[in-house]
Amino acid sequence: MKQLTEAILAQTIRVRPAESHKGTYGRVCLIGGNAQFGGAILMATEASVYSGAGLNTTLTDPSNFVSLHARLPEAMVADFTDQSALSALVTAANTVVIGPGLGTDATSLDILTKVFRLVSSKQTLIIDGSAITLVAKHDLALPSAQLVFTPHQMEWQRLTGIKIADQTDDANETARTQLMNGTVVLKSHQTKIYTPTGSYLNTTGTPAQATGGMGDTLAGMIAGFTAQFTNQTDAILAAVYAHSDIADLLAKRQYVVLPTQIIQQLPSYMYNHQHK
Ligand SMILES: NC(=O)C1=CN([C@@H]2O[C@H](COP(=O)(O)OP(=O)(O)OC[C@H]3O[C@@H](n4cnc5c(N)ncnc54)[C@H](O)[C@@H]3O)[C@@H](O)[C@H]2O)[C@@H](O)CC1
Ligand SMILES: Nc1ncnc2c1ncn2[C@@H]1O[C@H](COP(=O)(O)OP(=O)(O)O)[C@@H](O)[C@H]1O
Ligand SMILES: [Mg+2]
């Protein structure tokens, strides 16, 4: 297993060409946030916007529209039960993220299965939070897209049946290949990333990050990075590294680091780590 270092940032985050526009930096479609978990999709969306994705649209429960717009006028919104909006927005996206705060009821399952039918092989699909639990519970067939699963250890246990104590590198890599030809970001105090081209250990991170919404924020960052940077594996690795590196920087002076504080740091952090 290779260790991730700061080199992944310069390898991934490029100086922006002058001759470019919002369309150059990708379209992200984020799906989640039921009436109970609006904060999750709000943080994921904010992380994608602040990572620099060119256009961001959030499909969520309408009860979240006002709060989302009040915090984040840059993002567009649509009702996640509106079939024609879902269809148009998912098919137009470069990167789709589904799951933060989606919930696991019949409506959530219906949305997830529709999204699985809509995505195609050129798109990156990030499956997080409730969407992972739904795939596990209903044994859903996976679509042909560039798949990225972002489970924490309990979600990985649900998905693979491997108990947390038995989640060794060999078992995890075997389970990844059985599941799909995609990437697994297995989140814990030492996050590991299993990709078709190798496995990586994240070397950044702090217990100051152990608070609700931290993974929702990572899912949004992975969306923002994959939408605008060409190499999808590097984009995932750079997002994982940056998410926890920013937390480490803040934790030098803070007992707890909030997901929204990490998001606020993204534009300056990326400015400091961009490369020609
Ligand atoms: N503000 C919000 O709206 C929030 C919404 N959330 C959403 O709530 C839904 C349920 O997700 P949860 O993860 O809370 O619930 P889950 O029931 O999926 O998992 C949490 C359980 O897993 C256990 N666990 C074991 N190892 C763990 C590890 N390494 N990391 C994290 N948990 C571990 C925890 O102790 C806990 O009992 C998701 O859709 C998620 O996106 C959460 O992100 C919390 C914040
Ligand atoms: N003790 C810790 N050390 C380092 N990182 C942590 C620690 N606890 C949690 N994290 C990170 O916080 C995030 C938690 O993700 P997740 O459990 O999905 O949160 P949520 O669903 O509440 O948003 C992951 O990126 C994980 O690596
Ligand atoms: Mg989560």
Mutate to test the pocket of ligand 2, among 209, 216, 245, 250 (most ligand atoms within 8 A of CB): 209
DSSP at 231: -
Model confidence pLDDT, tens digit, residues 78-115: 999 999 999 999 999 999 999 999 999 999 999 999 99
Query: How many angstroms does the Cα of residue 276 sit away from the middle of ligand 3?
Result: 34
- Extract long-range pairs of 55-58: CB within 8 Å, 24+ residues apart: 55/22, 55/23, 55/26, 55/27, 55/28, 56/27, 56/28, 56/30, 57/27, 57/28, 57/29, 57/30, 57/89, 57/93, 58/29, 58/30, 58/31, 58/33
Q: Which ligand is nearest to the CA of 156?
A: 1
The residues near 211 (Cβ < 8 Å, ≥ 6 apart) are 256, 257, 258, 259
Model confidence pLDDT, tens digit, residues 222-233: 999 999 999 999
The verdict on pTM exceeding 0.80 is yes
ipTM given for this complex: 0.99
Tokens 């924490």 locate to 152
Query: How many angstroms does the Cα of residue 273 sit away from the middle of ligand 1?
Result: 31
Query: How many angstroms does the Cα of residue 112 sit away from the middle of ligand 3?
Result: 16
Q: Is 188 annotated as a binding residue?
A: yes
Check whether domain 2-12+22-268 has CATH 1.20.1330.10, yes or no: no
pLDDT, averaged across the chain: 98
Query: How many angstroms does the Cα of residue 215 sit away from the middle of ligand 3?
Result: 4
pLDDT bracket for residue 47 (50, 70, 90): very high
Residues near ion ligand 3 (CB < 5 Å) are 129, 215
- Beta-carbon count within 10 A of 122 CB: 9
